Amino acid sequence: MLENKDFEKQLYVNIQLELRELIGKLSFDELMENKERISGSVLTAAKDAVAMLGVQLIGCGVKDIILPGDIREIMNQVLVAEKRAQANLITRREETASTRSLLNTAKLMEDNAMLYKLKEMEYVEKITEKINTISLSGNGQIMEQLKQLFVK
């Protein structure tokens, strides 16, 4: 049996040293992407060191990666820029799809007079939904002119 009063501090220091050695070999992106792999590597590397303390290490993990303020600010700016770029790409795709749809509609209406008239009627319907009252004045040909909108 091994007596060690400060084994918790020694355990902490041993794991910290193994962790720092491993992290020192990784790039920033590798560090951010591979927390689970890092945990496994630290567990493997630290088992022997902590065994000398009379402790069996069953598991360990990387809980948080705390970045210095400058790096955190830069990462936030990168994240915002990436999200803006993604939103911009989505907007451009939607605009392209909308333009393609309008072009297809225009081609169909060019080839089909009935479809063109239906579209005209749809626009007239949208306009009339916003009108509360209509006041007509003039000679008796107004009704005839309205009828002409839908005949051809």
Same domain, 2 and 47: yes
CA distance 114 to 147: 16
- Residues 56 and 87 grouped into a single domain: no
| pLDDT score, position 19 | 84
Report d(CA 127, CA 105) in Å as an integer.
20
Domain tally for the chain?
3
The pLDDT value given to residue 1? 44
Range of the domain at 145: 114-132+139-152
What pLDDT was estimated at residue 80?
Answer: 95
Q: How far apart are CA 32 and CA 20, in angstroms?
A: 15
pLDDT of residue 98: 95
Q: Are residues 35 and 90 in the same domain?
A: no
Task: Identify the domain boundary among 30, 46, 66.
Answer: 66
Q: Note whether 22 and 45 are within 8 A (CB).
A: yes
Statement to judge: residues 38 and 60 lie in one domain: yes
pLDDT in the model for residue 39: 82
Q: Does 74 share its domain with 118?
A: no
Tell me, yes or no, whether 80 and 34 share the same domain.
Answer: no
The string of pLDDT tens digits covering residues 52-78 is: 777 788 887 778 778 788 888 898 899
Provide the pLDDT for residue 152: 59
The pair of three-digit structure tokens given for residue 144, joined into one six-digit string: 């005839």
57 Cβ neighbours under 8 A, 6+ residues apart: 43, 46, 47, 50, 51
48 shares its domain with 72? no
Residue 61 and residue 7 share a domain: yes
Task: Examine the domain organization and report whether 77 and 35 are in the same domain.
Answer: no
Kindly state whether residues 56 and 106 are assigned to the same domain. Answer: no
Question: Along the 152 residues of the chain, how does pLDDT read in single tens digits?
Answer: 456 677 788 888 888 888 888 888 888 888 878 877 888 888 888 887 778 777 788 887 778 778 788 888 898 899 999 999 999 999 999 999 999 999 998 898 888 888 888 888 888 889 888 888 777 666 677 777 777 766 65
Report helix, strand or coil for 21. helix
Tokens 């225009």 belong to 106
- Same domain? For 97 and 128 the reply is no
Residue at a domain's end among 41, 66, 91: 66
Q: Are 120 and 149 in contact (CB under 8 A)?
A: yes
Q: What burial letters (b/e) apply to 60-98, b meaning 16+ CB within 10 Å?
A: beeeeeeeeeeeeeeeeeeeeeeeeeeeeeeeeeeeeee
Considering the entire predicted model, what is its pTM?
0.44
Written as one string, the DSSP assignment of 71-94 is HHHHHHHHHHHHHHHHHHHHHHHH
Same domain, residue pair 78 and 120: no
